[in-house]
Homo-oligomer: A and B are copies of this chain.
Amino acid sequence: MKFFEDIAVGERHELGRHTFGADDIKAFATRFDPQAFHVDEAAAARSHFGALCASGWHTAAIWMRLMVEHQRREDAARRERNEAIAALGPSPGFRDLKWLKPVFVGDTITYAMEIVEARPSNSRPEWGLITLRNTGVNQKGEPVISFVSVAFVERRAAAAGDRA
């Protein structure tokens, strides 16, 4: 992770992409969202969706994985450049999650995040608080998911203090 001071409002990063296969969709839904249109092609064809589609929680969980993998790649590149790596704190939560379109079998979703706010934390002065707008867009350019997340990120001052 970059330090809080190095994060600029307006920065945008593509996190990666994922193609949702039928087995993938059904395996997630069987465990966590066993509604007929997420686990059974024939039932899905008769539903308001018209075809098998991913649980919205699945679409969200893939964002999480791609975000973790993105941060790992970025941190590995920082290590190669001998740069210090900032700690990423726990997430207090999310707001305004919207499932905008169904994700059907074979759809490839490209996930991105944009920094929309960055401010020092009042309650925890060694941390900054960043607000991200996260989106997933399908291969036709249609947004399928969007939400706003908040995360604590280490400040340089705190890191310098640790070393002093």
Contact = CB atoms under 8 A, between A and B. Distances in A.
A84 interface: no
A69 to B, nearest CB: 8
A6 interface: no
A29 to B, nearest CB: 9
Interface residues of A, number: 29
A60 to B, nearest CB: 6
Contacts of A89: 48
A62 B99 contact: no
B68 A35 contact: yes
Interface of A: 31-35, 48-49, 55-57, 60-62, 64-65, 68, 89-99, 102, 147
Given A34-B65, A48-B90, A57-B60, 12 more contacts: A32-B64, A33-B65, A48-B89, A49-B90, A56-B91, A60-B60, A90-B99, A92-B99, A93-B96, A93-B147, A95-B95, A95-B97
